[in-house]
Structure 1
Amino acid sequence: MTEIDKIAFIEIQGRKILSTKSKGKFKYYIPGGKREKGESDEQTLVREVFEELTVNIIPGTIEYVGTFMAQSDGAKEGVMVKMTCYKAKYNGTFHPKMEIEEIRGLDSNDSDRISEVDKLIFRHLVSIGELN
């Protein structure tokens, strides 16, 4: 089994979760990404959120949401994505940057538009009453 280690930013507004779609892709993903060598979860979260959404995470406000694992979309069987999720306060306004083409709020009715690991995260957020 191969594991892809990713950090994700959970931002819920109006009972929908902030999701992004990259250029040339069809599925939406919770913003975040892979850590660079030597980075902590917090450092990865801050860097990825700024690179993709142009907002600054406020240090000291980061809260762990959960860790979820599922088969990686489009990868051979046994390639798993481990997504460690955090909420945080931030400064700024969301704007797509780098590979991000679109930012949209999604809910549990959008399960056909998201990855397998995101489906687990959506189910968790629905179960605790944060997401429609």
Structure 2
Amino acid sequence: MANRDTVPEKIAWVLIRDGRVLVTRSHGRDRFYFPGGHREPGESDDETLVREIDEELRAAIDPNSMVHFGTFEIGAGHPDHGPFRMICYTADHRGVLTPSREIAEKAWFRYADRDRVSAVDELVFDALHDAGRIS
């Protein structure tokens, strides 16, 4: 795996319900993505995820419930602008999932919707499907 200092990273939330997974789409984008975002200087993964989910979906992540689901990476030269790494966590939350101003919409996708997400998100969809977590 590439050095953390040279590969852009995103901390992402994987929320699964009834065989579907939560994704969001930002204004001006066609593709959907797992909610989350980039670390601010000095932030830990849990601090980043708590902040980003509050900003994007106005929900409160319980950092004590966070479980690392996996780390997924696309390499340099990938058509989706690699290299890029996404560190994924499952976690409980409080509050209604309400998209903020930066989020155009939220959706619940099945594996059949995989072609509507980014390349690194596709890797997560594959892992979720292989583990029997999404249908």
Q: 1:53 aligns with which of 34, 37, 57?
A: 57
Amino acid at match of 2:58: T
TM (normalized to structure 2)? 0.90
Q: 1:27 aligns with which of 24, 31, 42?
A: 31
Give the equivalent residue in structure 1 for 2:85: 82
Moved over 4 A (4+): 71-74
- Tell me if 1:119 matches 2:94: no
TM (normalized to structure 1)? 0.92
| Partner deviation per Cα, 1:70-121 (whole Å, 9 max, x = no partner) | 156653xxx3110000011111000001310100001111122110000000
Q: Which runs of 5+ in 1 are unaligned?
A: none
Q: For the residues of structure 1 that align with 2:17 and 2:104, how far apart are their CA atoms? A: 20
- Tell me if 1:130 matches 2:133: yes
Number of residue pairs the alignment of both structures matches: 129
Q: Is the 1:29–1:115 contact (alpha carbons within 8 Å) kept by the matching residues of 2?
A: yes
Q: Which runs of 5+ in 2 are unaligned?
A: none
CA RMSD of aligned residues (A): 1.5
Identity of aligned residues (%): 40
Q: How has the CA–CA distance of structure 1 residues 119 and 74 changed in structure 2, closer, same or farther, with 3 Å as cutoff?
A: closer
Give the equivalent residue in structure 2 for 1:97: 100
Bigger proportion of residues as strand: 1
Give the equivalent residue in structure 2 for 1:17: 21
Amino acid at match of 1:31: P
Query: Shift in Å at residue 59 of structure 1?
Result: 2.6
